[in-house]
């Protein structure tokens, strides 16, 4: 894996922490009660020395004993032999995603009509879970714990219309690198520029705090989001996908 991919993967770990982590011969196994693949997958970002078949079997055992599927995150920089091996073992590709970055030098963004806090307060959490249609108590508790574990500067943004929160997003800033996450707009309000408003507001505030580079992850099939991020100035630098075995 090249240094650039490894660098952004490490930033991503810090912005989306897992509840438990196991380090195994260059691989990082992350566990968070099954909430998101990012926080519940095997990440192969450092050199490996053990036979791949043996390593995969150990990883499977670690997840299965927690009653979770074993998920592998594969990037453009991962070992091609490993990706092929996972395929032969019945692991299928899900959620192909692009990591995009933007140099903020000379950029100008406007922050307006957004409520921004530095913590995920009850209003923001309620908005996020409502817009995500999340009602499972364990999932909500896991998400709250993960957010509380972020060690770097955070920003949480909401848009309110007619007394109702209709959109939200958040950002994490580490060493001048700002990531945009949790961007979601109420279905009935989409297509009216609220997504861009969220992004620009957080980018503006992050730049005030010294951010010089922005990055994000976006599903390749989410063309509306991809188009928005390209208009803002983001450019793809690599892709990743998950391998999940169909039972």
126-148 confidence digits (pLDDT tens): 999 999 999 999 999 999 999 99
**Torsion (CA) 36, 38, 40, 41 in degrees, nearest 10:** 140
Name the pLDDT band for 74 (thresholds 50, 70, 90).
very high
Determine what percent of the chain is predicted with pLDDT higher than 90.
94
Task: Look up the pTM and report it.
Answer: 0.94
Residue 247 clears pLDDT 70, i.e. is over it: no
> Higher pLDDT residue, 38 or 113?
38
Digit-coded pLDDT (tens) for 204-226: 999 999 999 999 999 999 999 99
Name the pLDDT band for 105 (thresholds 50, 70, 90).
very high
Strand 42-44: give its sheet, edge to edge. Answer: 20-24, 27-31, 42-44, 71-75, 235-245, 91-103, 213-219, 177-185, 164-174, 153-161, 115-117
Task: Report whether 243 contacts 91 (CB < 8 A).
Answer: yes
Residue 79: its pLDDT value, please?
84
d(CA 56, CA 48): 12
The three-point CA angle 185-187-192 to 5° equals 65
Alpha carbons within 13 angstroms on the beta-carbon side of residue 187 total 4
Residue 192 clears pLDDT 80, i.e. is over it: yes
Identify the residue whose tokens are 């520029």: 193
Identify the residue whose tokens are 């060493």: 175
- Looking at CATH, the fold of the domain delimited by 106-211 is given as Aminopeptidase (3.40.630)
Residue 23 clears pLDDT 70, i.e. is over it: yes
Residue 167: its pLDDT value, please?
97
């Amino acid at each position: 894996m090249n240094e650039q991919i490894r660098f952004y993967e490490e930033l991503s770990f810090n912005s989306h922490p897992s509840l438990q982590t196991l380090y195994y011969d260059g691989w990082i196994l992350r566990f968070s009660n099954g909430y998101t693949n990012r926080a519940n997958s095997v990440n192969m970002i450092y050199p490996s020395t053990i036979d791949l078949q043996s390593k995969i079997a150990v990883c499977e055992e670690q997840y299965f004993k927690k009653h979770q599927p074993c998920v592998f995150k594969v990037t453009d920089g991962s070992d091609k032999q490993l990706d092929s091996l996972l395929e032969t073992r019945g692991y299928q590709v899900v959620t192909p995603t692009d990591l995009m970055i933007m140099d903020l030098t000379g950029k100008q963004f406007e922050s307006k009509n957004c409520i921004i806090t530095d913590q995920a307060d009850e209003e923001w959490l309620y908005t996020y879970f409502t817009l995500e249609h999340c009602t499972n108590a364990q999932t909500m508790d896991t998400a709250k714990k993960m957010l509380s574990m972020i060690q770097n500067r955070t920003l949480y943004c909401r848009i309110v219309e007619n007394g109702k929160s209709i959109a939200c997003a958040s950002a994490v800033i580490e060493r001048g690198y700002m990531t945009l996450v949790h961007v979601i707009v109420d279905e009935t309000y989409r297509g009216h520029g609220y997504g861009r408003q969220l992004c620009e507001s957080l980018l503006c505030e992050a730049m005030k705090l010294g951010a010089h580079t922005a990055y994000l992850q976006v599903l390749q099939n989410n063309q509306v989001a991809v188009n928005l991020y390209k208009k803002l100035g983001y450019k793809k630098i690599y892709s990743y996908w998950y391998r999940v075995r169909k039972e």
